[in-house]
Amino acid sequence: MTSPKATVDVVVLTMNDRPEPFERAMESLLAQRDVDLRVVIVGNGVQPDHVPPGVRTVVLPVNEGIPAGRNAGSDALAGADAGEFVFFLDNDAVLPATDTLARLIAVARRHPGAAYIQPRIADPGTGVTLRRWVPRLRAGTATRPGTITVMAEGVVLIRRADYEEAGGWPGHFFLFHEGIDLSWRLWDLGRTGYYAPDVVIHHPATDPARHAPFYRLVARNRVWLAYRRLPAPLIPVYLAVWIVVSVARIRSRANLAVWFRGLREGLKGGHGQRRPMSWATVARLTRAGRPPIV
């Protein structure tokens, strides 16, 4: 007797600025077999172009950022008929085989304690997996599976029940570090994450610093993340670690000045509801190889 197909709610964002990659992404998604898909395209400040038949749309009047757009899409598919999983797919990512999603769900079935399953992301031309796409500290080996404590949020499968209990993405982050916030909340529910490098999804190896507000937002959101999710004694430790790391990494004085402006912006407030993780979660994350200070 075969298992019933899993129902997957898929959220894709668009600003109509990547027409060809977007069409390829949607073609690869809708070609998936052995899963039941419910797909929504969220126009972040635009009316979505190139909407395939049977795909829902949500139009946000202004660009509210990536995490808020993802929340709007998942909310549009919520309710009594919601899928067992929510799959978030960047609009320039491609599922290279028609069984990619089914294989990812099979991994989830084998790891019921994992709230989210992270596939391996690889550049379609070179096959390279960037270090920032490997959701663990020791990122040199991109093909080692196992438990993970953060996520590469552009392509990730999450159990809807866990996603909703955790409260979704931090919408006001706009961009950057929203995946750490969500993964920490999922771990604080007693769940884990799992990295499945045998399931590969293609994504161009772009530089996140191409976004104009990159240095400001990564610094601001680090502060917000700390104030939202860490026990009070760990907040200064976490921020001190990232100040040292950022000063060492950022070679341009101009960019470093922008980074520090973002840090000051975060320290002024605006982080939203403070719901720190328990010390038990701190211990679990540490045992899993990533104490929540790095």
pTM for the model stands at 0.95
- pLDDT tens column, 202-219: 999 887 766 679 999 999
pLDDT band for 83, please (50, 70, 90 cuts).
Answer: very high
- pLDDT tens column, 141-192: 899 999 999 999 999 999 999 999 999 999 999 999 999 999 999 999 999 9
pLDDT band for 115, please (50, 70, 90 cuts).
Answer: very high
- 281 in a structural domain: no
Verify that 44 and 161 share a domain, yes or no. Answer: yes
Helix axes 214-229, 234-249, angle to 10 degrees: 160
pLDDT band for 1, please (50, 70, 90 cuts).
Answer: very low
Verify that 221 and 160 share a domain, yes or no. Answer: no
Verify that 61 and 75 share a domain, yes or no. Answer: yes
78: domain CATH number? Answer: 3.90.550.10
Verify that 215 and 192 share a domain, yes or no. Answer: no
Range of the domain at 225: 210-272
